[in-house]
Structure 1
């Protein structure tokens, strides 16, 4: 078979185009990408503006993702309400996912070493600095990195406006962490970051030695974090879970996710009443372990009273400064010998564990995807955050 010079040149161009796009299809077969992307930019407290920016050139170490959706986190809402991080203006959204449409030629695998290609579904995780005391001396605790970054909590900059998931496209640059998640549904992918928070908290709780198959565990607060925590505990084999909240709809959903008992603080307004109710559910002694998942300082004080002597507590409700709480060191800690741990967020290395949890929960028939109750387009992000604050739904999401 004879091949002329023009045919040879065409073949070479096709091969080179494939190499430049992560070994994927030739450029002519790539999905189309517009010249610009739209973002919901937070320009002032409680004020998103939809803006349009050029999509930058994708470098050899970069990834361009067409956004499919993103969860709205409590941290997003805190930033929307009052800019506690001082990041305005910025594009929020760190619970996002989408499809790879462009891939730099140097990008061959994801952070876990899995092969990566155009068309794959992707999520991003946190980025540790690699230079601070924690990163250098305590590499197993990089969730505590002093300079930890995450897409969606990065101040806007001229080099890359597409650095948060509340956008139509995401530009992921060198040094990021990301994972291929083709086997997860869109809803599971939007819940993955939240699952990483609770699987990390589970491991923190286990460090106390007070959490095991026989534990009676109390979860205070049935927002998205508390509900996901209940599902995490149930998936790990804990079969006695007490949910505490004041919203009957959320308590009913807590039962669907694995709670065996519930306490509605609106029906039992006095702390002594609630403590007695918990004791009645736990052979008269109190919970073996508790997860405190609210950002309420009064709740943070109350939770110690629900725990038996010799029990344990994981505090995970304060991702921003919501003020101080009061405890009695004698009665709440020393007299009970409570083992207390905190839980911050997670490390990138914990994402594969969170993925495994989501798969396992689905296999057990735990309806995690029903956590998502409301979905909003880009031009209704202010309304989405208002819905989050109202607590009329559970998990609120942006859908591209």
Structure 2
């Protein structure tokens, strides 16, 4: 067995996701386990090269993890010939320019979603990567959540029979920032800075629906700003110009109807922050981040509507937990390993920039649907 090391330029690790999920829980964790295992038994270690607009912030992260390579000069980082991969976790407004620079430098590119603010830009990134001949991928972490992996197992095993509908509930209360500090950065609520729950979450819902249930054929959405005034990190009130909730109906191939509510203005009365209920002719399931419960048609009760009497049935007791049957690793780390294998040995990686562009397309059409108050068909890209 041989071990080789490749450089990975990481732009945006000063942000929450870039730091926690991508640097610490993915790249550094991969190195701690001895690198990415290839099909021939060899391994690949990842040498992070940290890049950020604030050299002081990047330097502090580098010092905390004993990382020698850091800079505020993206061009200098991309000039390193051993730096094969460029990763981008910046705010969306900064992503396109940096990704194009990396593509022009001949680097394989892996990026957070959404890959761009508009479908036109997202398609341009996919076309530029293809023209330059570089591998490309977009983060689609929710496909690797234990709950959704169990759901995929049920689908592949034919548990549902014919799938009829999907109902998704996502969200939690993000504090306004006055009497309690907000859990999300203020730019999330300013459209001019790339904020908005539609642009943030519809690309997620797109790849979940596309990979588990079928192609998205139409969208009808209502995007709203429930809280027009919030307070930023400096304690200053500001106008929230981006949507903080969206209520959408998607029509999928095969006649499946998906309804998904996304909100940063909802108080959680669910077992997990996101849950998908899938109903089919032979059974139903409710999948969250980690857990998945099922009810087969043979075990389905027969409720009778009677508003004059209190309900005595404990409906949740009629559902069965789906066992793990395997050890589930961090979803971000799993996808990092797959992308490295894609780069080094051309292993399959379907989560490419074209897939990311379809997610941005859905977000764009969702906002258009809301603005025009109508159902909009989704053209194939």
TM-score (structure 2 length as normaliser): 0.35
Higher relative contact order (CA 8 A, sep 6+): 2
**Of the two, which has the highest radius of gyration?**
1
TM-score (structure 1 length as normaliser): 0.34
